[in-house]
A and B are shown apart, each in its own frame.
Chain A
Amino acid sequence: MESGLSSLLSVSIDFETSHLFFPRIIHWTLAGLFAVILVTRVLPFLAAVTRGERTLPIVGERMDGLRFFGTLALIVAYFYLMTVVGDIFPYTGYGFLFVSMAFVFLMSLMYMHEWTKKSVTIVVINAVVAPSLAWYVLAKLFTITLP
């Protein structure tokens, strides 16, 4: 009996495929947990959705589409353009500096609800000063690599 148990527990791992051993266990654990969650959580939730008691997350909720997708678009453009501009002036951090100014300015404007002369002025000053300060302290004083 004992030998049966120990042979059940014994395991040998082939070095060539040892990189897949642990991930396989994790996959099975994930699948098992997902099945349990599907039965105990997701199905009752979907039933409640069809009865109209609950709403689906994200699709069924009200969201500020302009600001949400605007944020995503701005971030993607920011990351992408940073490299592009950075390649024009390599090893200077100018890519970070100039693109950050534009990004900070646009994102601030997008998030601002009431545009007054004063608040726009603050935004403009911030968009120029904050990236410059970050660039000066990090790239110049501490010589950190910036795009």
Chain B
Amino acid sequence: MEFLSLLDITFFLLAGFGALVGIIFGAIPGMTATMAVAVCLPLTYALGLHHGLALLLGLYVGGISGGMVPAVLLNIPGTPSSITTTFDGYPMARKGEGEKALKVCVIASVVGGLVSAAVLFLFAPMLADFSIKFSYVEKFLIILLALSVIASLSSSMLIGIFSGVIGIWLSLIGDYSISDGGNGKTRLMFDFMEPYLFEGFSLLPVLIGIFGISTILLEAEKGVKSDTANERIKIGKGSHFSLSIFKGRMTNLMRSSFIGTFVGMLPGVGGSAASVLAYTQEKNLARDSSEMGKGAPQGLIASESANNALTGGALIPLLSLGIPGDSTTAVLIGAFTLQGIQVGPLFIPENPETWYVMMTALVFANIVMFFLMFYAIKHIAKVVMVPKHILYPIIVMMCVVGAYAINYGIMFDVWTLLIFGILGYLVQKVGLEVAPLIIGFILGSQAEIYFVKSLESFGTFSIFFTKSPIAVVLWLLILASVIFSIVMGFKSRAREKMELTQISGSTQTDSGKRHDTNSR
């Protein structure tokens, strides 16, 4: 209990302040938890290790949670991991249930965060032991599973897979990095692009462009109607929130929290994969998933509990192996190095006080996040209640800062915003899916390394099936998600046909329109 002497008022104030700033960062589209942590990193040097950790973990938890606000109210994921929150949150906000949706998200978030903190604390050595056994073969299959899952989430699996593969293709632009064991040669581009694209497109500008700029282009095309502005960002005071929403949803809540923790734990597979996986699992396993995607609280519970559970999960490989679980924890390694601490297998045994301090900060940040968001959500949501003609220029401006500063001042990253803004606009216009494309982009370059390295060392494709029992289980899961998607496709087509025969009076143009909305 020696570590208690290390905790003082400043420690808790910093954790709380971090959570607040994190929520604001997360709530502003284009600003992420990673940005929040990166921005405040210099402050930690002045603060000292334990105070610095309190601030950083507060920012991390707050930043991941804050993403729900624009996801629900604006249909823009504030952070990449809240993609799936938009699926149900935004339809609810349109129905005037914004506040209810946000409160569901807040409770799911705090449960996810605390569950993952408990897992981190109790099972860190054991779980790390498990994930360290994953070779490149299993890691590749995990990515394949994530992609097949996100494709099965799309309204058409074919379109979903196609979009995902386009995403992978985009991620391959640039060099086959030497630091990852490649030969350092570039591909998929012309020589004159090399100065800009040697390392490919940076992840954050791509995300900000696709979600921020293309949303603004789509709005501009529709004329930025001011009357819809009031309707769209209405938080919905009339809607009543009660805890009974969670009745019968505990399995979902717990399952999603554990999925989030587990995915967060897998090095490099963090971020959006967790919430996507949890969302799809809820869609597959729930008794009634027909309302999901149209404004069902169960979708919000799955998405938000999983993405907050990432925080604890991603810290497991960071603290036990020195491998970051996601981009935010990658920045956290920077904070440790600043303080002269090496994270790795010996970190916890050698620094028990720091380990307990981190746990305290993590739990406290979750609690602060809960109270701030639950009771002050109306005020926080005002960030998005500004009229569109005021909000949109500011969003573009903040997108620019986010893109420019993430790699410390590269103007090409700002142009990446525009390139991917236009790409995102076109993709949505021709009916392709943005979410699989982004997932493909995030996971693509790792998929390549795991795939090529596995083949280089084993020399046969059959290794992907015979490497280990884990590989077989992963293949079964991939197969299950494909079969599920096909079965669901047939079911919904049959239902559509039945509806069509029932509505005999409907004209052909109506059915065309319906098909149009379905194919989105």
Contacts and interface: CB of A to CB of B under 8 A. Distances in A.
Interface in B449-474: 451-452, 455-456, 459-462
Interface residues of B, number: 72
B48 interface: no
Nearest to A53: B512
Interface stretch (B7-15, B68-76, B104-112, B216-224): B216-224
Contacts of B130: none
Given A22-B448, A107-B392, A9 B397 contact: no
B39 interface: yes
A89 interface: no
A108 interface: yes
Contacts of A96: 400-401, 404
B176 A18 contact: yes
Contacts of B495: none
A63 B411 contact: no
Contacts of A142: 39-40, 42-43
B337 interface: no
Interface stretch (B156-164, B255-263, B483-491): B156-164
Interface string B152-179: 0000001101100110110010011000
Nearest to B408: A145
B39 A15 contact: no
Given A19-B187, A134-B398, A67 B389 contact: no
Interface string A15-43: 11011111100110110011011001100
A100 B452 contact: no
Interface string B172-215: 10011000001111111000000000000000000000000100
Contact of A10 (B159, B404, B422, B460): B460
Nearest to B394: A130
A19 B400 contact: no
A4 interface: no
Given A57-B429, A71-B217, A23 B187 contact: yes
Nearest to B169: A26
A72 interface: yes
B118 interface: no
A103 B397 contact: yes
Given A34-B162, A64-B221, A145-B409, A16 B183 contact: yes
21 contacts: A6-B460, A9-B461, A13-B455, A19-B185, A22-B448, A23-B172, A53-B509, A54-B512, A58-B426, A58-B430, A64-B221, A67-B223, A76-B418, A79-B411, A96-B400, A96-B401, A107-B389, A126-B394, A131-B397, A134-B397, A142-B39
Interface of B: 39-40, 42-43, 158-159, 161-162, 165-166, 168-169, 172, 175-176, 182-188, 213, 216-217, 220-226, 388-390, 392-394, 396-398, 400-401, 404-405, 408-409, 411, 414-415, 417-418, 421-422, 426, 429-431, 447-448, 451-452, 455-456, 459-462, 508-509, 512, 516
Interface of A: 6, 9-13, 15-16, 18-23, 26-27, 29-30, 33-34, 36-37, 40-41, 48, 53-54, 57-58, 63-64, 67-68, 70-72, 75-76, 78-79, 82-83, 96, 100, 103-104, 107-109, 111-114, 122-123, 126-127, 130-131, 134, 138, 142-147
